Structure 1
């Protein structure tokens, strides 16, 4: 760490020199303006003016991947890494159904639009601007949708709803928000200017990545629970009510754990851990003769998945303990 002596120039002006290597690497010239922010620990953060953004490009060659899922994983990696243009190309024309399915899947990447298309190539460009994006609001939106999925799953278990169409739609929305927030946080950790624009700290970036990851996994788990709940033939009402009670308790724990992070409340984290423990301790008897063997398999899967989801709530609560 370099040190600099503070000098007094004039009656009330204090000056300190800037490291030459830093000045050169950032192309700073006499007369340029720098931003100075006072941090919570009273340190100063000096930033240069907004640099001209260099848009990175990436190419995905179809022949290097065995199926659509591998292509999507590679596209996701480039998206999160900050590529502004992504080309998907092939040596020969794509099968029509593959082109159609891939274009549908690419809709979950917020901001990316197809600007060029042929039977061998797709070129997508990012048109999203983070000027008015609030990371915290996006995360709260993701949490709210995840909560809707949990409530809808409970209604399916109780026989009040006969479809998980809403859940499927909401799950896609959570995926979109998850990828967008991951991408913007990745930009922020590499650019102090974006960090200031988003009004978050590096520590919050780390916490938010863990937070959205747990919420996204929770959403995926409840989608699977809803699908299995629809497959269960009518059984004892007491079983459905017990499973619904578990979800009710998990919703309370989910709220507490999420709010413990956003409000930096240590007590809420502890309460969430206690409520999570209470949720998984609800006894559920799946040995009834009137439950078919296939339905028992579905119910065992649901019960195991609820226990898995409770671990994600515990992850959130532990993040809350760390931020307080």
Structure 2
């Protein structure tokens, strides 16, 4: 780390000289624009070329290693998750059938579409805004969980087993949103890699974890729905008690996380710990169904702990901010 002295210029302006090697490496000249990013007590400098390079999100693939659907799906998913906006695949082996398969693959990726396809070439492009709020994605995922719980409750109350089968579509929506959340997280991590953005970076990584836990909860609820269609009416009535509590707890959990409420976080953790001690006696499908509920509880408890830590961290940050303001006033 280099140390530079602050100099006073003209009686009212301050100046810090830039390292000569840094200026040369970035091919800067007198009069060139330098971007300043100010966050709390840290300033980060960016040459214009760096800001433009960081926005390059296109990749050219000259030949796929394999053409089987499993590999192609995993490969396209990986590029999507890295935040790539345009994928150009050139391969003589690409034909109409292959393009059709790729089209099916990208249906699971929010915003990604085939915009051009010819023999030997296919171009994929993400048409969704890159500024989409990752926090909003996780909020929507939590709403899907609430919808899944409500749909299951309605199916049990009305004895409508077809309603339980509709859970699969909601689970798929959750999967798509999770992939989108990871994509946005990767883009933001690149942007917030400087020390001035460490608070935001910590929040983003926490959101990624919460998104994964919500996706796991959706999987558990889907698994429950597959077992529920095989359960007796009596077993469904018994399991409804669990779901009624689960729905209320998750509502509180979502409020605790999004509002950074430390007290509500602690209350939901305690309720989930109590629910995890529930009795599982019953038939095979009943026990399997209850185990999926307990699995969802464990994931919810993890979210509760993240919400608790997030609330405490934000409280500390507000305290430090208040201290700095008080210190600045005393100097004046």
Q: Is the 8 A contact 1:229 1:302 kept in 2?
A: yes
Q: Is the 8 A contact 1:269 1:320 kept in 2?
A: yes
Q: 2:251 aligns with which of 249, 255, 270?
A: 255
Counterpart of 1:36 in 2: which secondary structure? Answer: strand
Counterpart of 2:128 in 1: which secondary structure? Answer: coil
Shift of 1:256: 3.3
- The aligned counterpart of 1:167 is 167
CA distance in 2: counterparts of 1:85 and 1:129, whole angstroms: 16
**Structure 1: which 5+ residue stretches go unaligned?**
287-295
* Structure 1 residues 73 and 299: alpha-carbon distance in aligned structure 2, compared to 1, 3 A threshold: farther
Q: Is the 8 A contact 1:112 1:124 kept in 2?
A: yes
- The aligned counterpart of 2:154 is 155
- The aligned counterpart of 1:146 is 145
- The aligned counterpart of 1:82 is 83
CA offsets per residue over residues 156-203 of structure 1, 9 Å max, x none? 33444332454222222222221122112101111249999x9x8111
**Structure 2: which 5+ residue stretches go unaligned?**
313-332
Counterpart of 1:85 in 2: which secondary structure? Answer: strand
Q: Which has the higher helix share?
A: 2
Asked if 1:227 corresponds to 2:226, the answer is yes
Q: Is the 8 A contact 1:146 1:215 kept in 2?
A: yes
- The aligned counterpart of 2:287 is 300
Q: Is the 8 A contact 2:94 2:121 kept in 1?
A: no
* Structure 1 residues 224 and 102: alpha-carbon distance in aligned structure 2, compared to 1, 3 A threshold: farther
* Structure 1 residues 23 and 213: alpha-carbon distance in aligned structure 2, compared to 1, 3 A threshold: farther
Q: Is the 8 A contact 1:250 1:275 kept in 2?
A: no
* Structure 1 residues 121 and 13: alpha-carbon distance in aligned structure 2, compared to 1, 3 A threshold: closer
Counterpart of 2:233 in 1: which secondary structure? Answer: coil
Aligned residues: 305
Q: Is the 8 A contact 1:243 1:284 kept in 2?
A: no
Q: Is the 8 A contact 2:99 2:117 kept in 1?
A: no
Shift of 1:120: 6.4
CA distance in 2: counterparts of 1:195 and 1:75, whole angstroms: 32
Counterpart of 1:318 in 2: which secondary structure? Answer: helix
CA offsets per residue over residues 32-69 of structure 1, 9 Å max, x none? 333434424x222334444153233254967736x533
- The aligned counterpart of 2:190 is 190
Counterpart of 2:251 in 1: which secondary structure? Answer: helix
* Structure 1 residues 189 and 27: alpha-carbon distance in aligned structure 2, compared to 1, 3 A threshold: farther
- The aligned counterpart of 1:36 is 36
Q: Is the 8 A contact 1:109 1:179 kept in 2?
A: yes
- The aligned counterpart of 2:135 is 136
CA offsets per residue over residues 59-118 of structure 1, 9 Å max, x none? 4967736x5334322221111113321538573757x5x765552332121222112335
Q: Is the 8 A contact 2:95 2:119 kept in 1?
A: yes
TM-score (norm 1): 0.80
- The aligned counterpart of 2:326 is none
CA distance in 1: counterparts of 2:268 and 2:184, whole angstroms: 29
Q: Is the 8 A contact 2:276 2:294 kept in 1?
A: yes
CA distance in 1: counterparts of 2:150 and 2:253, whole angstroms: 17
CA distance in 1: counterparts of 2:90 and 2:160, whole angstroms: 40
* Structure 1 residues 63 and 32: alpha-carbon distance in aligned structure 2, compared to 1, 3 A threshold: closer
TM-score (norm 2): 0.79
Counterpart of 2:89 in 1: which secondary structure? Answer: strand
- The aligned counterpart of 1:272 is 268
- The aligned counterpart of 2:238 is 242
* Structure 1 residues 11 and 249: alpha-carbon distance in aligned structure 2, compared to 1, 3 A threshold: same
Q: 1:54 aligns with which of 52, 56, 68?
A: 56
Shift of 1:7: 0.8
